[in-house]
Amino acid sequence: MPKVIFIDPDGVRHDVEVAVGLSVLEAAHQNNIELEGACEGSLACSTCHVVVDPDWYGKLPEATEEEEDMLDMAFGLTRTSRLGCQLIMTEELDGLVLRLPTETRDSRG
């Protein structure tokens, strides 16, 4: 099973196994990682914002226009920011490194 490495705001590393086909958000919730996901993965907020390690960013599918719109509302946006609900695990993403931002903003209005 592929692994995702979550690095929390304090720098603590969490290596978790993730079933192929699950989103990063689902993986975080299954492993008690502090990634909110207020809209439960329906692409209606930015609270599952993660910062992808630059070495991995180019290996991900491009963000959709809808994801880009939600990312515009994320707190602490970076050039490698993505939404965890939109990152679906594959074998090719084994070892994916993601940093959790220090804060999130619920952008559902």
CB atoms within 10 A of CB 29: 19
Entry pTM: 0.91
Q: Over the stretch 31-81, which tens digit does the pLDDT of each residue have?
A: 999 999 999 999 999 999 999 999 999 999 999 999 999 999 998 899 999
> With 80 as the cut, is the pLDDT of residue 104 above it?
no
10 Å CB burial of residue 52 (0-12, 13-18, 19+) is buried
Its sign, for the CA torsion 54, 58, 59, 65, is: positive
Q: Which amino acid is at 41?
A: G
- Homologous superfamily (CATH) of 3-99 is Beta-grasp domain (3.10.20.30)
| Tally of residues, the chain | 109
Antiparallel, parallel or unpaired: β 81-83 and 49-52: antiparallel
Task: State the pLDDT confidence band at 102, using cuts at 50, 70 and 90.
Answer: confident
Q: Which amino acid is at 87?
A: L
Task: State the pLDDT confidence band at 90, using cuts at 50, 70 and 90.
Answer: very high
